[in-house]
Amino acid sequence: MKTLSDSSRDFQMADMKSFDEPMPAIGIFWYDPKEHEFFGVYKKELTPKMVEEAAEKGLPFINYPRLHRQIWKEQYFRAIAQHKPTKFTGDYTQIPRGRVAWNIDKFIVLVGKWAEDIQDELTVLINQHFALPYFEFVYDEHWDLGHGWSGDL
98 within domain boundaries: yes
10 within domain boundaries: no
4 within domain boundaries: no
What are the strands, taking DSSP E only, across 6-126? 25-32, 37-45, 61-62, 97-103, 106-111
91 within domain boundaries: yes
pLDDT value, residue 137: 97
What are the strands, taking DSSP E only, across the chain? 25-32, 37-45, 61-62, 97-103, 106-111, 136-139
**Residue 70, domain extent:** 23-152
Residues 6+ apart with CB under 8 A from 114: 31, 96, 143, 144, 145
18 within domain boundaries: no
The strand pairing partners of 138, in sequence order, are 110
pLDDT value, residue 153: 44
| pLDDT values of the chain reduced to their tens digit, one per residue, 153 residues | 677 787 877 777 776 666 667 889 999 999 999 999 999 999 999 999 999 999 899 888 999 999 999 999 999 999 999 999 999 999 999 999 999 999 988 999 999 999 999 999 999 999 999 999 899 999 999 999 988 865 554
Q: Based on C-alpha coordinates, what's the Rg of the chain?
A: 19
pLDDT value, residue 18: 67
pLDDT value, residue 70: 94
* Structural domains in the chain (count): 1
